[in-house]
């Protein structure tokens, strides 16, 4: 058990645990930690609690603070990458040859570059995810899993979970631990950045459009941010790709209209996976990217979040290119990098293949995909690499050192699943928000955090993928 964990005698008290589980589920519902059910995703009257842990999980205070502190530097890094066409072209040259999805995104990027950007306002809402790596000598360090530059989720629900865990700890008699559950309100910070970009756009009639999926069980996560905007008298609409294709248009000034409504901001909560797109969706995406609307993210920022870019950034001298006069920033960012290796054709890629086949349990094989459940582990790495190692298909992946967090014990509360004491690991996310107009960075903040926890039975997958659950850090 890690330091800061819930006392073992409490975890083993079955009668108390049954009582706390009942209290926890009701408290989650009372505080709006909600999702629609997979059986009735489009019926707002049928809801359940979002999956969450019974107790908050221990996180080392120093590493937690490191994640939040470095977030503004990652905001700057992503933004600077998005403004560097030569870097993106070079970094993604091999990937777009073999990954059709990234290639389609890159086609839109090239179109926009050739035509010229219609909007100087850039809005970034991202989330950088980490695990605490525990080495055999007992030392720990913060290692980045990935940075999500599109549809970074759970800023809404994670704003509500601290109150739930505080109440559970109070009922359990853990009053000192209750005081350690931090305030956290990413929804307000994300909405503040959206509001700033909307104000800069300069039309009180123009709306913020959430670009959403057809089926959305996680709608309440969106609603918290929507409601923050409505409180500021900023109008919000929810539309799908099909709606934009059917009713969207650009006027002579490239202002985007969906139906009769002018769109100030397109906030993508969809569009990060190949299955999100039809040919009509691709046409709609191009129209939105060509428009004067502020895109969150714009196409270059979307590409800046690819796994291949993440891998290239770990190479010597690359970070220095983006922070030429700030060696301290380079040091802080690089300290979070895990080992990342290319699978491009050539000697270096061959070395990576051999390394992965020799010790597959030490690595993770990653395609250029978001949304959880896409990575390859253990013996499956050998199966995939044996199939693609001789050809260019391998360039669709990168290889990453596997991170080994110290497991803790907790109860995972998920609708329809029996509750048992599970051995778990956690992933910490830091939410970033920035707004730039032209060359001037007007807002750059870390606006909150997210902790997700899953049983060690599952190698991959997030909350939306049905594997991880929401959590809060208990700092020690």
Catalytic residues: 127, 146, 148, 153, 307, 366, 370-371, 452
Q: Would the annotation count 130 as a binding residue?
A: no
Q: 3-state SS string over 414-471? A: CCCCCCCEEEEEEEEEEEEEEEEECCEEEEEEEEEEEEEEEECCCCCCCCCCCCCEEE
Q: Would the annotation count 283 as a binding residue?
A: no
Q: Would the annotation count 155 as a binding residue?
A: no
Q: Would the annotation count 359 as a binding residue?
A: no
Q: Would the annotation count 279 as a binding residue?
A: no
Q: Would the annotation count 395 as a binding residue?
A: no
Q: Would the annotation count 13 as a binding residue?
A: no
Q: Would the annotation count 420 as a binding residue?
A: no
Q: Would the annotation count 463 as a binding residue?
A: yes
Total Cβ atoms within 10 A of residue 148:
22
| Nearest residue to 259 via CA among 247, 250, 249 | 247
CA 327 to chain centre: 27
Residue/partner pairs of 229-237 with CB below 8 Å, 24 or more apart:
229/191, 229/194, 229/195, 229/198, 232/191, 232/195, 234/194, 234/195, 234/198, 234/208, 235/205, 235/206, 235/207, 235/208, 236/207, 236/208, 236/209, 236/210, 237/207, 237/208, 237/209, 237/210, 237/261
Q: Would the annotation count 110 as a binding residue?
A: no
Distance, in Å, from the CA atom of 442 to the CA atom of 196, rounded to the nearest integer, reads: 9
Q: Would the annotation count 151 as a binding residue?
A: yes
Q: Would the annotation count 344 as a binding residue?
A: no
| Nearest residue to 77 via CA among 284, 295, 283, 334 | 334
| Nearest residue to 444 via CA among 452, 456, 432, 455 | 432
Q: Would the annotation count 372 as a binding residue?
A: yes
Distance, in Å, from the CA atom of 129 to the CA atom of 444, rounded to the nearest integer, reads: 18
Q: Would the annotation count 374 as a binding residue?
A: yes
Q: Would the annotation count 403 as a binding residue?
A: yes
Q: Would the annotation count 99 as a binding residue?
A: no
Q: Would the annotation count 233 as a binding residue?
A: no
Which residues neighbour 257 within 8 Å (Cβ) at sequence distance 6 or greater? 248, 249, 250, 251, 263
Q: Would the annotation count 6 as a binding residue?
A: no
Q: Would the annotation count 464 as a binding residue?
A: yes
Q: Would the annotation count 217 as a binding residue?
A: yes
Q: Which residue is listed with tokens 């009922």?
A: 171
Taking the CA atoms of residue 319, residue 445, residue 372 and residue 394 in that order, the dihedral angle to the nearest 10 degrees is -10
Which residues neighbour 70 within 8 Å (Cβ) at sequence distance 6 or greater? 128, 332, 333, 335, 336, 430
Binding site members for ATP:
146, 307, 366-375, 377, 400-403, 427, 452, 454, 460
Binding site members:
127, 146, 148, 150-153, 216-218, 269-272, 307, 366-375, 377, 400-403, 427, 452, 454, 460, 463-464
Binding site members for substrate:
127, 150-153, 216-218, 269-272, 463-464
Binding site members for Mg(2+):
146, 148, 370
């Amino acid at each position: 058990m890690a330091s800061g964990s819930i006392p073992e005698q409490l975890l083993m008290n079955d009668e108390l645990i049954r009582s706390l589980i009942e209290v926890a589920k009701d408290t989650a519902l009372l505080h709006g930690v909600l999702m629609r059910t997979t059986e009735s995703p489009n019926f707002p009257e049928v809801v359940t609690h979002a999956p969450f842990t019974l107790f908050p999980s221990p996180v080392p205070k120093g590493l937690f603070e490191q994640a939040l502190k470095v977030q503004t530097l990652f905001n700057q890094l992503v933004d600077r990458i998005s403004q560097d066409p030569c870097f993106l072209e070079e970094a993604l040259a091999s990937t777009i040859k073999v990954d059709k999805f990234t290639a389609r995104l890159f086609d839109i990027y090239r179109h926009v570059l050739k035509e010229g950007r219609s909007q100087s306002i850039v809005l970034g809402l991202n989330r950088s995810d980490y695990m605490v790596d525990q080495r055999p000598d007992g030392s720990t360090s913060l290692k980045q899993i990935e940075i999500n530059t599109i549809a970074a989720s759970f800023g809404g629900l994670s704003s509500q979970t601290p109150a739930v865990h505080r109440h559970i700890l109070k009922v359990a008699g853990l009053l000192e631990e209750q005081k350690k559950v931090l305030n956290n309100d990413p929804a307000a910070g994300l909405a503040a950045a959206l509001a700033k970009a909307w104000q800069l756009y300069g039309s009180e009639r123009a709306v913020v459009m959430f670009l959403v999926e057809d089926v959305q069980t996680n709608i309440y996560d969106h609603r918290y941010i929507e409601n923050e905007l409505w409180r500021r008298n900023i109008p919000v609409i929810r539309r799908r790709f099909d709606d934009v294709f059917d009713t969207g248009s650009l006027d002579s000034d490239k202002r985007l209209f969906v139906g009769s409504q002018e769109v100030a901001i397109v906030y993508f909560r969809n569009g990060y996976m190949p299955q999100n797109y039809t040919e009509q969706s691709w046409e709609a995406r191009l129209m939105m990217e060509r428009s004067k609307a502020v895109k969150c993210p714009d196409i270059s920022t979307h590409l800046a979040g690819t796994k291949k870019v993440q891998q290239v950034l770990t190479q010597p001298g690359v970070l220095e290119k983006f922070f030429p006069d700030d060696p301290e920033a380079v040091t802080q960012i690089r300290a979070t990098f895990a080992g990342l290796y290319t699978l491009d054709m050539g000697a270096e890629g061959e070395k990576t293949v051999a390394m992965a086949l020799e010790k597959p349990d030490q690595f993770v094989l990653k395609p250029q995909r978001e949304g959880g459940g896409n990575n390859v582990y253990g013996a499956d790495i050998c199966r995939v690499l044996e199939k693609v190692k001789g050809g260019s298909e391998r360039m669709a992946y990168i290889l990453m050192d596997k991170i080994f967090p110290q497991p803790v014990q907790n109860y995972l509360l998920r609708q329809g699943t029996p509750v048992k004491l599970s051995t778990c690991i956690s992933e910490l996310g830091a939410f970033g928000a920035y707004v730039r107009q032209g060359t001037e960075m007007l807002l750059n903040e870390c606006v909150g955090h997210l902790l997700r926890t899953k049983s060690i039975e599952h190698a991959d997958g997030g909350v939306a993928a049905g594997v991880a659950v929401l959590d809060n850090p208990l700092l020690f």
